[in-house]
């Protein structure tokens, strides 16, 4: 009788196949990153090239680099490599990595190999006294007779460790970083540039160094730091940088036992309170959800070492502050605005506490608010402001980006445009004609930036984003385009010549560089290394 295969067995077999395929999809060169790496930096070159439109501007980048020093052959070779990435030998379709071993002093660079001989040519052209010693199709790299790395058919591994055994172990290890929980976690939170720090893998020596440093610098806190240090040494953090159309975002995500019991961020922001802030001539906004009881309990842990050194009067004042904070329940919001940054700013501050409770504190401490500050509110909140004709219930033009704080624990907004104008007005007023050209190009880049935001959307994540006025292309393309213009201005400034001469100087630099690269493939340093 023919045996039937059940659907469940087929499903199980499929899951096994998928698991095997997923475990084997890690490119072989990544396996050089060890499971116990303390830090890992990932640079997604492919994404960065695409987002920056680098291929359309690589010649301009190469010309600029070469023009910084017309006599420096190394710069010209670097410029050649930038303009001809396919001849470098590295497979830039895969990310580049930097990583450190449990001893943070041991640093390595790893990349996928596209053409081994091209890599050897590239290193030979850039490094003096370069030697290659090949055994069993593995090429060991030496500079000034000091081991600097190794190249196999698929992996380029460079480091500051001179021990061959370390390199062999990294190339032959069975368990690599991306098979670990930390590696998978980093992959889930990756960006165009990603940095992971895994304090769990920090060596005992480095842990003791950190402990001794804290004890030496902050002796009054040493007794209270044991728990905090233990939390630190059992934590991981990922920071990623993402370039988008009209936006650059920096995100920090943590994985720590501390996050599970963290009560500082215990209340989400009410958008209705954030919309009480007027948008007119706005410089900045800050908002934070707060459950006063939980917030103070958490804050008290941090204040404990300082409380031992307080006077009786300071402790009494702290108790008054405690009563005030514990009474808060809702959203703390504040804004600063004005027509000019150098004039007296207007502010609005909203506290989620009854106006009666605040009045009692003002009376107890005999606080003078000044003639320009108005105080009011109701049983739900209190408001301090020096803004004329402000009515929290009738804001004609409420804060425009309020929706960005939806479900966040903390939110901050900063209007970059007025700050840029003030900064560059001062710089341009004091600049000579040559400096003026550099500042003018820098101003053009800064004027692209509209505003910045700080946000804590979850207890373990912090985000900082800069928004641009021009959303027609990726932010990185804008940065590269303006960066090239700034670089050209700096080169011309360093030449310290008149307005017509920079063009001549730049053309001379470009022509010299072009003549150099045309003969580059025939030069002695680029011949095949035997």
For 221-263, the pLDDT digits (tens) are 665 666 667 677 778 999 999 999 999 999 999 987 666 556 6
Query: Domain range for residue 373?
Result: 246-472
Each residue's pLDDT tens digit, 284-308: 999 999 999 988 888 887 777 777 7
Spell 33-61 as b/e; 16+ CB within 10 A means b.
Answer: bbbbbbbbbbbbbebbbebbbbeebbebb
Q: What is the pLDDT of residue 384?
A: 94
Residues 103 and 206 sit within 8 Å (Cβ to Cβ) = yes
Work out the percent of the chain whose per-residue pLDDT is above 70: 84
Work out the percent of the chain whose per-residue pLDDT is above 90: 51
Q: What is the pLDDT of residue 126?
A: 83
Averaged confidence pLDDT in the chain: 84
184 and 291 inside one domain: no
Q: What is the pLDDT of residue 224?
A: 60
Helix (H) / strand (E) containing 181: helix 181-188
Q: What is the pLDDT of residue 262?
A: 63
Closest by alpha carbon to 163, among 181, 179, 180, 150? 150
183 and 254 inside one domain: no
171 and 263 inside one domain: no
Each residue's pLDDT tens digit, 77-126: 888 888 889 899 999 999 999 999 987 789 999 999 999 999 999 988 88
Least confident of 41-45, 318-322, 323-327, 336-340: 318-322
Residue 521 falls inside a structural domain: no
- DSSP annotation of 154 reads S
Neighbours of 87 (CB within 10 A): 16
Residue 211 falls inside a structural domain: no
Q: Per the structure, how many domains does the chain have?
A: 2
Average pLDDT over residues 377-390: 92
Least confident of 204-218, 323-337, 419-433, 448-462: 204-218
Bridging pattern class, strands 130-135 and 138-143: antiparallel
69 and 152 inside one domain: yes
Spatial CB neighbours of 254, under 8 Å, sequence gap ≥ 6: 235, 236, 237, 238, 460, 461
410 and 262 inside one domain: yes
């Amino acid at each position: 009788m023919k045996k039937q295969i059940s659907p469940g067995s087929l499903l199980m077999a499929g899951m096994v196949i998928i698991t095997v395929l997923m475990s084997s999809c890690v490119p072989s060169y990544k396996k050089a990153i060890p499971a116990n790496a303390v830090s890992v930096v990932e640079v997604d070159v492919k994404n960065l090239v695409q987002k920056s439109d680098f291929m359309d501007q690589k010649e301009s980048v190469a010309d600029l680099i070469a023009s910084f020093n017309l006599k420096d052959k190394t710069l010209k070779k670097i410029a050649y490599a930038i303009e001809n990435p396919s001849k470098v030998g590295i497979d830039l379709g895969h990310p580049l990595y930097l990583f450190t071993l449990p001893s943070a002093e041991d640093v390595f660079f790893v990349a996928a190999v596209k053409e081994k001989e091209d890599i050897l040519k590239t290193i030979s052209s850039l490094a003096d006294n370069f030697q290659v010693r090949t055994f069993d199709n593995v090429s060991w790299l030496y500079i000034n007779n000091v081991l600097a790395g190794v190249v196999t058919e698929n992996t380029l591994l460079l480091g500051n460790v001179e021990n061959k055994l370390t390199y062999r172990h990294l190339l032959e290890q069975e368990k690599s970083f991306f098979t670990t929980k930390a590696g998978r976690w980093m992959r889930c939170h990756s960006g165009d540039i990603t940095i992971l720090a895994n304090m769990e893998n920090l060596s005992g020596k480095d842990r003791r160094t950190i402990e001794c440093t804290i004890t030496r610098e902050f002796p009054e806190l040493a007794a209270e730091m044991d728990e905090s240090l233990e939390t630190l040494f059992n934590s991981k953090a990922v920071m990623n940088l993402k370039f988008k159309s009209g936006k650059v975002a920096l995100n920090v995500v943590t994985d720590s036992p501390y996050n599970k019991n963290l009560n500082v961020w215990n209340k989400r922001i009410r958008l209705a309170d954030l919309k009480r802030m007027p948008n007119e001539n706005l410089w900045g906004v800050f908002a934070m959800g707060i459950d006063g009881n939980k917030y103070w309990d958490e804050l008290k842990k941090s204040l404990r070492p300082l409380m031992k050194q307080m006077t009786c009067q300071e402790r009494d004042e702290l108790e008054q502050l405690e009563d005030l904070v514990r009474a808060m329940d809702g959203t703390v919001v504040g804004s600063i605005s004005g027509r000019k940054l150098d004039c007296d700013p207007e502010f609005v501050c909203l506290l989620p506490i009854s106006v009666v409770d605040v009045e009692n504190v003002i009376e107890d401490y005999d606080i003078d608010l000044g003639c320009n500050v108005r105080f009011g509110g109701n049983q739900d909140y209190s408001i301090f402001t020096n803004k004329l004709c402000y009515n929290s219930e009738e804001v004609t033009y409420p804060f425009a980006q309020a929706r960005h704080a939806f479900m966040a624990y903390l939110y901050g907004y900063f209007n970059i445009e007025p700050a840029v104008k003030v900064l560059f007005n001062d710089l341009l007023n004091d600049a000579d004609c040559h400096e003026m050209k550099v500042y003018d190009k820098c101003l053009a880049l800064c004027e692209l930036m509209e505003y910045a935001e700080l946000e804590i959307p979850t207890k373990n994540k912090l985000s900082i984003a800069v928004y641009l006025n021009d959303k027609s292309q990726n932010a990185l393309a804008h940065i590269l385009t303006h960066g090239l213009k700034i670089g050209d201005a700096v080169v011309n400034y360093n030449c310290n010549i008149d307005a017509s001469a920079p063009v001549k100087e730049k053309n001379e630099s470009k022509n010299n560089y072009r003549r150099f690269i045309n003969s580059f493939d025939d030069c002695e340093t680029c011949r095949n290394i035997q």
